Structure 1
Amino acid sequence: MHDLTQPIETGMQTYPGDPAVNIESVAEHDSVGYRESRLTCGTHTGTHVDAPAHTEPDGKTLEEFDVAAFERTCRRVDCQDLDAREPIPAGRIPTVDSDVDCLVFWTGWDEHWNTDRYLDHPYLSPAAAERCAEQGLAVGVDTLNPDPTPSERSRADEPDGFPAHHVLLGSELLLFENLTNLGAVSDRFELRASPIRIDGDGAPVRAIGVDRS
């Protein structure tokens, strides 16, 4: 079993404009005999899952998915050769066996976590997202976003808005973002990424990768 989760910490990186993350002590052993903290964060903090309600006005919330939806049989797609802000083309999308229900894109961009360069990750082209949706595949990424994330280095030829989100979430396919440590798993693995029970648009997960023989 491999931990594929970014740690939640005060001041950690978030999508531009999302709520800042803060962990504050509210009780200590010396004063009250136990320890407790207050966590303030957005629903799309760190390694998390997007529900369709994130971008689709009539989309399902997390509560509308069976718990089994957060355990996925994955195929890892190696995209480590792609440069900053380079689209993942449709030709990279494999045709998968019937038991695979999630593609996880391994860009290696998690090595830039908590830096400005993390904003400039490769992203799914709209055509690549369409090919995932055609096969009914959920998607996981080791980046901040399957779409281009705004930064000072955004390019004029990049798609506007959130086309990959709309294609995938509009097809009621879950998105797992900010995965890490994808080099530890094999090309076929099981992803276990259950969110806290919240009837919302997304939530942090503890993502675990389990190699499949």
Structure 2
Amino acid sequence: MFRDLSRPIETGMPTYPGDPDVTLAPDATHEADGYATSELRTGTHAGTHVDAPRHTIPGGETVDELGVGQFAFDARLVDLRSLEPREAIAPESLPDPSDLDAEIDLLVLRTGWASYWGTDRYRDHPYLTAAAAERCREAGVGVGLDTFGPDPTPTAEGDADPPSNARGDEPDGTPAHDVLLGDSLPIVENLCDLDDLPARFRLSAFPLRIRDGDGSPVRAVAEWEGRPGDT
């Protein structure tokens, strides 16, 4: 079985606060030119994408410096749909490193926040504590998320609907990113369609070969034997 876990790239799609807007527009058309091409303007972290260490680590590896095999993962699904808005994900919510098979190299965290894509509430996703990221580092696994990322996202300005649930004890900066990317562990963000995935599957998330890239949009595809919902 194959399933596309990627967000479509389209004009006006949600982006992380402060990132460039995405636009996709015709360049040449069949009617005028006899063929079709389009112009795409996007940031490197739009839609479903991977982070390279250079994203938050000065001097860290870039997308084009990482081996292509580092973007094909043996993944394990972790169901975190019981979490509240902006709730911190503690280490105890993740598998103990001793319970992970040696071949697992990515934990896919299903928070359920994919259902809020395109709304202000999408910013209010749960996030990893630095200690939870350290547990991942200890296990040698990266993370895939159905959210903007493993750290808290800035809240919506003005009259958000629903209102923001920002908490006063949220960390500043990018501590979870820093722990993971500091050890060259993968981060895949803005995944979708995680319902009914098996507990174990293969995930391919190959980036564009962007020179000195700090990240890249990907086509994230899950693959497993059997039918949807099989474990």
> TM-score scaled to structure 1, two decimals?
0.97
Deviation of 1:145 (Å): 1.2
Against the structure 1 CA distance between its residues 212 and 103, is the aligned structure 2 distance closer, same or farther, given a 3 Å change threshold?
Answer: farther
Corresponding residue number in structure 1 for 2:79: 78
* Letter of the 1:209 counterpart: A
Corresponding residue number in structure 1 for 2:15: 14
SS in 1 for 2:195: helix
Matched, 1:99 2:112: no
CA distance in 1, matches of 2:129, 2:23: 33
CA distance in 1, matches of 2:64, 2:209: 7
Corresponding residue number in structure 1 for 2:199: 187
Against the structure 1 CA distance between its residues 212 and 57, is the aligned structure 2 distance closer, same or farther, given a 3 Å change threshold?
Answer: farther
Corresponding residue number in structure 1 for 2:160: none
Corresponding residue number in structure 2 for 1:122: 126
The question of whether the paired residues in 2 share the 8 Å contact of 1:28 and 1:35 is answered with yes
SS in 2 for 1:76: strand
Corresponding residue number in structure 2 for 1:160: 172
Matched, 1:23 2:27: no
CA distance in 1, matches of 2:210, 2:196: 30
CA distance in 2, matches of 1:211, 1:127: 31
CA RMSD, Structure 1 to Structure 2 (Å):
1.0
Give identity over the alignment, percent.
Answer: 53
Deviation of 1:212 (Å): 4.9
Matched, 1:205 2:218: yes
* Letter of the 1:131 counterpart: R
1:107-146 aligned at under 5 Å gives the runs: 107-146=111-150
Deviation of 1:42 (Å): 0.1
Structure 1: 5+ residue stretches without partners: none
CA distance in 2, matches of 1:9, 1:184: 26
Which aligned runs of 4 or more in structure 1 are off by greater than 6 angstroms? none
Corresponding residue number in structure 1 for 2:229: none
The question of whether the paired residues in 2 share the 8 Å contact of 1:190 and 1:212 is answered with no
CA distance in 2, matches of 1:174, 1:5: 16
CA distance in 1, matches of 2:216, 2:26: 22
Deviation of 1:128 (Å): 0.6
Cα deviations by residue, 1:75-128 (Å, 9 ceiling, x for unpaired): 110000001100111001213110101111001100000111100001111111
> TM-score scaled to structure 2, two decimals?
0.90
The question of whether the paired residues in 2 share the 8 Å contact of 1:186 and 1:212 is answered with no
Deviation of 1:184 (Å): 3.6
How many residues align structurally? 213
Deviation of 1:185 (Å): 1.8
